[in-house]
Amino acid sequence: MFRKPSIILLLSAGLFSISAQQTIPFRITKHNNIIVKTLVNKKDSLDLMFQIAMEDASISPERHHKADHIIFDKDDVSNDNTVQIGKMNLNKVRFFNNELTGHEADGKIGTGMFTGKSFKIDYDNNRFEIYDKEPDLNGYQGIMLFHENGQFFINADNVIDGKQQQEAYFLLQSGYSGAILYSNAFAEEKELDKLLKTTSEKTMKNSSGESIVTKQGILPFFKLNNSVLKDVPAGFFTGKHKTQTVSYLGADMLKRFNWIFDADRKKVYIKPSKYFSEPYYKMN
């Protein structure tokens, strides 16, 4: 999904600086992507998509606004940029060039802006909240969070055949507009092509002209801690050529909860948001 995943995974934390508790407003697109308005290097006004699966920032080749004041080196990397979001000023922000992003965005910005802080994704009020101390967790459920190379994974249960819960780890992926996308390994092991009711199928060609088949099915039940969702759209790949190495918990599922991440990134707390029972996003 990213043009330079190997580079992104090697990036260290601490690339942003925040002095105190802050609130950052955002908007949600019809494709479930979070967009924040930014001013980069005091010159470039950019709409950046929040990407929870990365730490740094990037610029898209299909951007809508100019980014003339982000200077990239021969490896398409730009260090030591400033980013202003509302009243918050970030320093030493690293940008990557030519990475695709979500609809209505000029690029992406990741979780580096929250380094060392607890933060909340508040879908009820369309804002991020950043805390110096642990916030009020009343009404929230705690979930173990697995933090690896700047990416977050959680565990959830999937009821596929109506009888048995199948445990799986999901990468939190706010750049994927749908609810769930299963890894190749999980889809094959659980025989999703046979057990899930298929609602759509699409065949694409890769750069070598080989066919890649993706399907959308209906998962009867999805259980995240004590919260249960029914008839959840779930994507998976079939056929000889498959490309999905990890399972995604996508933006459509993320927005159904408010999320509070602890400062150590060892635990995340969730509470159903106002979107919990909304109709599911339809993948094209």
CATH classification of the domain holding 172: 2.40.70.10
Q: Is 236 helix (H, G, I), strand (E, B) or coil?
A: strand
Residue 118 predicted with pLDDT over 90:
yes
pLDDT score, position 17: 43
Does residue 170 lie in a domain region? yes
Separation of alpha carbons 76 and 78, rounded Å? 7
Is there a single domain that holds both residue 243 and residue 175? yes
- The answer to whether residue 30 scores a pLDDT higher than 90 is yes
**Per-residue pLDDT, 87:** 86
Query: Are residues 30 and 121 both part of a single domain?
Result: yes
Decide if pLDDT at 117 tops 80. Answer: yes
Distance in angstroms (rounded) separating the CA atoms of residues 115 and 120 = 13
Kindly indicate the confidence band of residue 5, based on its pLDDT and cuts at 50, 70 and 90.
very low
Residues 119 and 174 in one domain: no
CA angle 87, 82, 120 (to 5 degrees): 50
Do 145 and 268 sit in the same domain of this protein? yes
- Measure the CA angle with vertex 274, ends 144 and 225; round to 5°: 25
Nearest alpha-carbon partner for 41 in 87, 86, 80, 96: 80
Q: What is the separation of C-alpha 157 from the centre of its chain, rounded to a whole number of angstroms?
A: 19
Write down the pLDDT at residue 173.
Answer: 97
Residue 222 lies in domain:
141-272
Residue located via tokens 């959680």: 154
Kindly report the average pLDDT of the chain as a whole number. 89
Q: How many domains does the chain have?
A: 2
Question: Do 175 and 268 reside in the same domain of the chain?
Answer: yes
pLDDT of residue 86: 86
pLDDT at 16 over 60: no
Is 15 found in the same domain as 120?
A: yes
Q: Which residue has the higher pLDDT, 57 or 160?
A: 57
Domain with residue 36: its CATH number is 2.40.70
Sequence-distant (6+) residues with CB within 8 A of 22 are 86, 87, 88, 128, 129, 130
pTM for this one? 0.89
What is the tens place of the pLDDT at every residue in 86-112? 888 999 999 999 999 999 999 999 999
Residue 2 has pLDDT above 90, yes or no: no
**Are residue 107 and residue 162 in the same domain, yes or no?**
no
pLDDT at 9 over 50: no
- Which single residue is written with the structure tokens 């080196």? 73
pLDDT at 205 (0 to 100): 67
> 148-199, pLDDT tens digit by residue?
888 999 999 999 987 667 899 999 999 999 999 999 999 999 999 999 999 9
Q: Is the same domain home to 107 and 44?
A: yes
Backbone φ/ψ region at 251: left (φ over 0), alpha (ψ -120 to 50), beta: alpha
pLDDT at 250 over 90: yes
195-226 pLDDT, tens per residue? 999 999 888 766 666 778 889 999 999 999 99
Q: Which helix (H) or strand (E) holds 144?
A: strand 141-144
In this prediction, residues 64-86 reach a mean pLDDT of 95
DSSP 54-109: -SSEEE-TT-SS--TT----TTSEEEEEEEEETTEEEEEEEEESS----TT-SEEE
Tell me which of 23-27, 108-112, 120-124, 240-244 is least confident.
240-244
